[in-house]
Structure 1
Amino acid sequence: MDIKQLYYFKEIVDQESISKAALILHMAQPPLSQQLKKLEIELGTTLIHRYRQKWELTETGYILYQYVEKLLLSMGDVKKQIEEIEKGSAGILRIGVSSACLNLLVEYISIYRKQFPGVKISIDKGNSEELLKKLDHKEIEVALLLRLEHSTHCDVLALKQQQYVVVSPRSWGDVFPSKHVTFQDLATHPFIMLAAMEGHSYYENILKAFEEAHTAPNIVMESKDLTTVIAMVSKGLGYSIIPRVAYAVPMDQLKIHELQQFDFRVEPVMIKIKDERISKATSQFWGLVDSVNTDSTPN
């Protein structure tokens, strides 16, 4: 019993005639009659009583017809879903994001949703180390994070580089003399610092910058989670130095200051495992981000 036989059987029942079904199916009547007979022999039952003047579906024929109707309908749904997934108009986008790149992701997703509203989006948030593990374990297909120094096994889509800025609590008022601050200005205030993370040199670069300015930071708190750092700053517990891409505007509880004497930049990237097949939905997202990033890059 194969799908073609079942399809033929359904058409015979729908037309209530082998001859009429043969016309619809664009085939001769004898081969169609043979297919029906083969199906009955295989199932060990008579599906249709055929008389000279009368045509009648048997009880087993009725049961098979109900089954075939559901089967062919389900197959049509499966085909439609596969076509939608391959076109990128459906399916699932599984993406990971670090807290530093969350605002970037929101912008990209808002554009993507307008073009592909049928795609379901699954977002995992974590630090860079966690996201790499999720990629390796195929829990996500792509990740948006700050460039790592040990991601040679990944394809990398580089995005626009970002400067670091100082964020201070608005409740502090004008604690710094201007919008441009130096490391000497920062040294006497409590510093909530992004903790050291494997693959990133931020921590070492910040400490080196303080040292070169002949001063030292007053570190009162460390966290690998940027969201936590910003929340602590907004509560007035200290200032921090974060990538410009990491904050949303406006942040009512924070003030933003340009940081002098510090040329270190950070580069957001989107990565996927090399030579790994990704879904059509994810491929479409990768292409969209690439296009948006290219359009926004100055000549």
Structure 2
Amino acid sequence: MDIRQLHYFREIVNQESISKAAEVLHIAQPPLSQQLKKLETELGTVLIHRYRQKWELTETGEVLFQYAERLLSTMEDIKQQIEEIEQGSAGTLKIGVSSACLSLLVDYVSMYREKFPNVKISIEKGNSEELLRKLNRKEIEIALLLRLDHSEDYFVKALEKQEYVVVSPREWGNVFSSDQVTFKEIANHPFIMLGAMEGHSYYENILRAFDAEDVTPEIVLESKDLTTVIAMVSKGLGLSIIPRVAYAVPMEQVKIYELKQFDFHVEPVLIKTKDERVSKAASQFWELVDLLADEKGQKN
């Protein structure tokens, strides 16, 4: 017994006639009759009583018909879901994001949802190291994070670069006399450092900038999670230097200053692994971001 035989049998029952079923199935009547007889022989039962002017299912025929209905309906549903996934109209988009890039993701996801409302979106948040591990383990398909120093194993879509800014607790008031802050001024206050992460030179660049001013920062806390850093600043535990792109996290309790004498920038990127097929939903998200980034580049 195979799927084709069940399909034929269901159609015979639905049409209540082998000849009508043959027309619907676009096959000749004799081969269809042979398939029914073969199915009855294989199961060792009569499925349909066929009289000169009467036609009816047997008890075993009714059991098989109900089974065929459930199985074939399930297979049709599976086929439809697969087609929708391949077309990008359904399925799940699995994406990872670092806290520094959360604001960008919010915008992109909002636009993506408008185009593909039936796609479920699963978001994993973590630092760059965690996201790379998830990407390599195929737990996510795409990651939005700050550019890595080494990214040869990934396809990379660069987004608009962002400068660094100084954030201080709002409860401290006007800590600095100017909107342009120097590293020498920062060294006079408790400092919360965004921790070193593999593939990023932020940590080293910040320390070199302090060294260039012949000062040493008073590092009171370190964290690789940008949301945690901002939360600690908000609580008045110190000030910090963060990428401007991080503004999606709550910033009501901090003041923002421009950073002087620091030419380094961060570059958000969208990445996916090379030589690995991604879902249609992921491909369309990539294409959407690519299009938006190109449009923004043309305006600038």
What TM-score results when the alignment is normalised by the length of structure 2?
0.96
2:168–2:240 contact (8 Å) kept in structure 1: yes
Deviations 1:212-252 (A, max 9, x none): 12322221111111111000001111111000001238721
Structure 1 unaligned residues grouped into runs of 5+: none
- The alignment partner of 1:73 has SS state of helix
2:254 is aligned to 254
| 1:206 maps onto 2:203 in alignment | no
Matches of 1:90 and 1:53 in 2, distance apart?
A: 48
Report the alpha carbon displacement of residue 7 of structure 1 after superposing the two structures with TM. Answer: 1.5
What one-letter code is carried by the residue in structure 2 that aligns with 1:198?
Answer: E
Task: Name the stretch that deviates more: 212-221 or 34-43.
Answer: 212-221
2:230–2:251 contact (8 Å) kept in structure 1: no
1:276 is aligned to 276
What one-letter code is carried by the residue in structure 1 that aligns with 2:282?
Answer: T
Task: Name the stretch that deviates more: 211-220 or 85-94.
Answer: 211-220
2:146–2:268 contact (8 Å) kept in structure 1: yes
What one-letter code is carried by the residue in structure 2 that aligns with 1:176?
Answer: F
2:267 is aligned to 267
Report the alpha carbon displacement of residue 129 of structure 1 after superposing the two structures with TM. Answer: 1.1
Report the alpha carbon displacement of residue 79 of structure 1 after superposing the two structures with TM. Answer: 1.3
Report the alpha carbon displacement of residue 104 of structure 1 after superposing the two structures with TM. Answer: 1.2
Report the alpha carbon displacement of residue 202 of structure 1 after superposing the two structures with TM. Answer: 0.7
Query: Does the C-alpha gap of structure 1 residues 180 and 2 become closer, same or farther in structure 2, counting only changes over 3 Å?
Result: same
Query: Does the C-alpha gap of structure 1 residues 249 and 70 become closer, same or farther in structure 2, counting only changes over 3 Å?
Result: closer
Query: Does the C-alpha gap of structure 1 residues 248 and 13 become closer, same or farther in structure 2, counting only changes over 3 Å?
Result: closer
Deviations 1:112-135 (A, max 9, x none): 111111111111111111111111
- The alignment partner of 2:95 has SS state of strand
The Cα RMSD (Å) is: 1.4
1:87 is aligned to 87
1:197 is aligned to 197
Query: Share of identical aligned residues, percent?
Result: 73
Which aligned runs of 4 or more in structure 1 are off by greater than 4 angstroms?
none
Deviations 1:29-64 (A, max 9, x none): 222211111111121111011111221211110000
Report the alpha carbon displacement of residue 191 of structure 1 after superposing the two structures with TM. Answer: 0.8
Query: Does the C-alpha gap of structure 1 residues 152 and 219 become closer, same or farther in structure 2, counting only changes over 3 Å?
Result: same
- The alignment partner of 2:232 has SS state of helix
2:176 is aligned to 176
What one-letter code is carried by the residue in structure 2 that aligns with 1:24?
Answer: V
Structure 2 unaligned residues grouped into runs of 5+: none
What one-letter code is carried by the residue in structure 2 that aligns with 1:174?
Answer: N
Matches of 1:141 and 1:132 in 2, distance apart?
A: 10
2:186 is aligned to 186
1:219 is aligned to 219
1:97 is aligned to 97
Matches of 1:219 and 1:77 in 2, distance apart?
A: 58
Matches of 2:135 and 2:237 in 1, distance apart?
A: 35
Report the alpha carbon displacement of residue 169 of structure 1 after superposing the two structures with TM. Answer: 1.0
- The alignment partner of 1:155 has SS state of strand
- The alignment partner of 1:143 has SS state of strand
